[in-house]
Amino acid sequence: MAEGSVPLLAVVGHPNKGKSSLVATLAEDDSVGIGPTPGTTLHCRSYPMRVDGRLLYSLVDTPGFQRARQVLSWLEERAAEFPSTAADRPRLVEEFVRARGHADRFPDECQLLQPIVDGAGILYVVDGGVPYGPEYEAEMEILRWTGRPSLAVINPIGSRDYVADWEAALGQFFRVVRVIDALRADHSTRSQLLKAFGELESGWRGPIGEALAALDAVRESQRQAAAREIAQFLAGALTLVVERRLEPTDDPARLERELEAEYESRLGQLEADHRRAVQRHYGHHALEAHAAELELLESDLFAEGTWLRFGLRRRDLVAVGAVGGATTGGVIDAALGGASFLLGATAGAAVGGALGWLGAGRLAELRVIDQPMGGRLARYGPSRNANFPFVVFGRARYHCGLVAARTHAMREVLELDVDLENRLPLSGTTRRGLADLFAELRRRGAGSKRSREAVEGLTRTTRAILMEDEGRLTERG
């Protein structure tokens, strides 16, 4: 696609109505400046949307109208001074922008009208949460004078109380009016808006169609990459081991606590690295700076409430325990004649469904191994807890769902839906398939051909789950 034929869209409107938020969302660019007070955007700035180096379309973030009535008065007086027709109005707007002294007298209007004069289409943004007023009509009339293809977006900030009034008014100035929450517009909503704009300019229909196909391909690539990150993270978590050479002077209880703490720390680091990778795949490069947004996800992985929230419900924990025969309690498998390290614990407490629930608080076991060349090795992990992989997978799935649904305009603390696991449950067939893949990863360890095949299988299963999650969340709006 030649750059000259690429659609250029100028996002215009009153100050502080969500123009920059819409630009960030449509450009999928978290570098767009967004602020709570008017005047955040002082100068026009172009945000090109590229895929694999190919320019699909460009959006121009513009300052807000400040003196629309005076500008319209100048245009009307000029039209009356030199009798003209409606066909001459675009030329008069261009004359206004280029008139001497106007850049100083009307800096915002000259800035926002310049890309339109140069051939950009118009995306006019209003706030559906505030009442419609006649002061907006001067803005809309100026835009109508430009003769450029235009579309209006009602962005409900805080409420939708006045959306109907805005629809009635905007319909008199714009051929297409859409209600879109710029902060929460999903992939499907963004695509529909771009498609509508392509219908306004015959020469843009083809380029917009190409852009939509490319964006759909990018979305699938993001989903596939995120699924692979989750599968690789699960493979690492399920085979994680920490070791320390056992010295005669070591205090057994203290060593066990230290190894457990190191295991949990390394597991937490694996998860943090995984999350950052998923966020990068979805283009959220600055998300890590807002750690509070993931506060719930950063809660103690080993707390009972976390198991329930991100993993299985109580009956599911029991079912998984029954299938896997999870052994629970403070059990240490002392290999090759090793002795129990956990004072007061009983080995091999029981196997069965109820223990799938009761064992949720124990991640891994400590073993003491006699080494062939002498000495003994204390090894903590890998986890054999039947519930553990489902909890880790649930957390990863939850995080990915939040990131995939997040627009690039969102900068505030993310409100987490703590009941997502119950709203998006796994079917029995999917759960059994996951259990088989988890078991294969545990049996084969890392690096073997069979383990790589298990990672590939888990990637395919996870991709299907993520796609289904996106569909369900889109249906719920």
381-431 pLDDT, tens digit each: 898 887 788 888 988 888 898 889 888 877 665 554 544 444 567 888 998
Same domain, 271 and 394: yes
Identify the pLDDT of residue 348: 27
* Residue whose tokens read 């719930």: 296
Picking from 14-23, 358-367, 466-475, which range would have the lowest pLDDT averaged per residue?
A: 358-367
| CATH code of residue 69 | 3.40.50.300
In a domain, 213, yes or no: no
Same domain, 337 and 427: yes
| Cα within 13 Å of Cα(287), Cβ side | 27
In a domain, 214, yes or no: no
Picking from 176-190, 200-214, 266-280, 341-355, which range would have the lowest pLDDT averaged per residue?
A: 341-355
Same domain, 291 and 372: yes
In a domain, 215, yes or no: no
DSSP letter for 414, please. P
Same domain, 144 and 184: yes
Same domain, 123 and 18: yes
| Domain's final residue, options 200, 233, 267 | 200
Same domain, 150 and 272: no
| C-alpha distances in Å from residue 223, one per residue of 50, 218, 284 | 18, 9, 14
Question: Is the per-residue pLDDT at 378 higher than 80?
Answer: yes
Picking from 82-96, 133-147, 325-339, which range would have the lowest pLDDT averaged per residue?
A: 325-339
Same domain, 16 and 48: yes
Buried (b) or exposed (e) across 143-154, using 16+ Cβ within 10 A?
bbbbebbbbbbb
Domain count, the chain: 2
**CA angle, 258 then 262 then 264, to 5°:** 115
Mean predicted lDDT score pLDDT of the chain: 79
Same domain, 13 and 49: yes
Confidence of residue 320 (pLDDT cuts 50, 70, 90): low
In a domain, 472, yes or no: yes
| C-alpha distances in Å from residue 46, one per residue of 43, 81, 281, 296 | 10, 36, 23, 36
Mean pLDDT is highest, among 1-5, 110-114, 256-260, 393-397, for 110-114
Same domain, 72 and 137: yes
In a domain, 322, yes or no: yes
| Domain's final residue, options 200, 232, 255 | 200
**Which residues neighbour 144 within 8 Å (Cβ) at sequence distance 6 or greater?**
150, 173
Here the tokens at position 254 are 């203290």
Same domain, 116 and 23: yes
Q: What is the domain extent for residue 87? A: 3-200
Identify the pLDDT of residue 327: 33
Identify the pLDDT of residue 84: 77
Same domain, 28 and 174: yes
Identify the pLDDT of residue 305: 59
In a domain, 455, yes or no: yes
> pLDDT tens digits, residue range 424-457?
678 889 988 999 999 999 886 666 788 889 999 9
In a domain, 380, yes or no: yes
Identify the pLDDT of residue 241: 93
Question: Is the per-residue pLDDT at 74 higher than 70?
Answer: yes
Same domain, 334 and 409: yes
Identify the pLDDT of residue 15: 82
Question: Is the per-residue pLDDT at 312 higher than 80?
Answer: no
In a domain, 205, yes or no: no
